[in-house]
Amino acid sequence: MQLRTSFRNELPFETLALLAKDEEGKMDKDKARELIKVFRPDRDGSLGKLEFVKSIDVVYKELRLLCANINNSSYMDAAVENIVNIGFYIILAAIIIYRLGRDPVALFISFSSVIIAFAFMFGRSASKYVDGCLFILIQRPYGKSKVQL
């Protein structure tokens, strides 16, 4: 196959279309469509330097957004895991106290003044934390990335 490569300011799309070939050398139509969607060549099949750089910039920004979404999801998973762990250890402590022959409700009631004091001290920040977690989990403010890897 003869490629139209010369020292001009345009890149022929058939050069990029080589990326759409599979192991056997046949053109994969789905990959070619994706390449056309990403790079948007002209009608004559050429792609200018500026359009090429803009296309690469769009893909780069979408990948950065995807990485940010993945990092945010991992932080949210860790926060939810910490909350579940705290609840689990409280229930485990209550079961252990009950198995030792004590009444866990009476013990927790005796510590209620300390718990209430902490609730007043950290109540607003805990509320904002939960609101933020729910906002990110439910509304997905960062949106879904269009890049499929």
Looking at residue 96, what is its pLDDT?
A: 93
Q: How far is CA 104 from CA 87, 91, 147, in A?
A: 15, 10, 52
The whole-model pTM stands at: 0.49
Is 72:39 a contact under the CB 8 Å cutoff?
A: no
Q: Which pairs count as long-range contacts for 66-71, CB under 8 Å and 24+ apart, including other chains?
A: 66/145, 66/147, 66/149, 68/142, 69/142, 69/144, 69/145
Cα 4 to its chain centre, rounded Å, is 40
* Exposure string for 133-143, b = 16+ CB within 10 A, e = fewer: eeebeeeeeee
pLDDT 10s per residue in the chain (149 long)?
545 555 567 777 777 777 777 778 787 778 778 877 777 777 777 777 778 888 888 889 888 988 888 888 888 888 889 989 998 998 999 899 999 998 888 887 878 878 788 778 777 887 787 787 777 777 766 655 444 44
Looking at residue 88, what is its pLDDT?
A: 95
Looking at residue 92, what is its pLDDT?
A: 94
CA-closest candidate to residue 137, choices 77, 48, 63, 87: 77
